[in-house]
């Protein structure tokens, strides 16, 4: 079913029309660790170079790493590998939004983690209108 929908749908990734016709005469400037491709060409209404991303997989803006986000929004002029310092050893790689997946954060007491939470410590005092 996926191969039949690809020519017509944009939410499953770039359609064939985008790849075949929309990128003609444009320049591919790089790729991120997730495989997304970044392109530049033409100019926007402000006269700046037009920049965009072609996602690998579903179109999800949370899958754009912060460095490439800066490039897409003209916060830096050159591609991130040349314009930004190398990442520090303590920095973690960017992750896509995990909400709605099995890897999403679940606090203690969430039903997905068993539904048990720590007992109240006794420091809570309910408000009453007379008090």
Note whether residue 127 is domain-resident. Answer: no
Q: How confident is the model at residue 75 (pLDDT cuts 50, 70, 90)?
A: very high
Note whether residue 120 is domain-resident. Answer: no
Q: How confident is the model at residue 28 (pLDDT cuts 50, 70, 90)?
A: very high
pTM (2 decimals)? 0.68
Residue 32: name the closest of 1, 49, 53 by CA.
53
Note whether residue 124 is domain-resident. Answer: no
Note whether residue 77 is domain-resident. Answer: yes
Domain extent for 73: 2-113
* Other Cβ atoms closer than 10 A to 115: 9
3-state secondary structure of 82: helix
Residue 112: pLDDT over 70: yes
C-alpha dihedral, 6 to 8 to 13 to 18, nearest 10°: 110
- Interatomic CA distance for residues 64 and 70, integer angstroms: 10
Residue 1: pLDDT over 50: no
Residue 93: name the closest of 67, 124, 56, 72 by CA.
67
Residue 3: pLDDT over 70: no
**Residue 48, CA atoms < 13 Å, CB-side half-sphere:** 11
Note whether residue 90 is domain-resident. Answer: yes
Note whether residue 123 is domain-resident. Answer: no
Note whether residue 52 is domain-resident. Answer: yes
Give the total number of structural domains in the chain. Answer: 1
For the chain, what is the mean pLDDT? Answer: 82
- Interatomic CA distance for residues 78 and 84, integer angstroms: 9
Listed in sequence order, the DSSP H helices in the chain are: 2-5, 16-17, 66-72, 80-83
> In this structure, what token pair is assigned to residue 116?
């048990």
Note whether residue 25 is domain-resident. Answer: yes
């Amino acid at each position: 079913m996926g191969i039949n929908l690809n020519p017509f749908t944009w939410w499953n990734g770039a359609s064939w029309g985008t790849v075949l016709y929309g990128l003609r005469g444009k320049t591919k400037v790089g790729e991120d660790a997730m495989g997304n491709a970044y392109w530049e060409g033409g100019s926007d209404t402000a006269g700046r170079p037009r920049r965009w991303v072609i996602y690998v997989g579903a179109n999800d803006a949370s899958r754009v790493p912060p460095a490439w986000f800066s490039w897409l929004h003209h916060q830096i002029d050159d591609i991130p590998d040349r314009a930004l310092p190398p990442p520090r050893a303590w920095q973690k790689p960017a992750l896509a939004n995990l909400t709605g997946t099995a890897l999403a954060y679940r606090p203690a007491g969430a039903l997905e983690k068993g539904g048990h939470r720590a007992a109240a410590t006794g420091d809570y005092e309910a408000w009453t209108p007379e008090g």
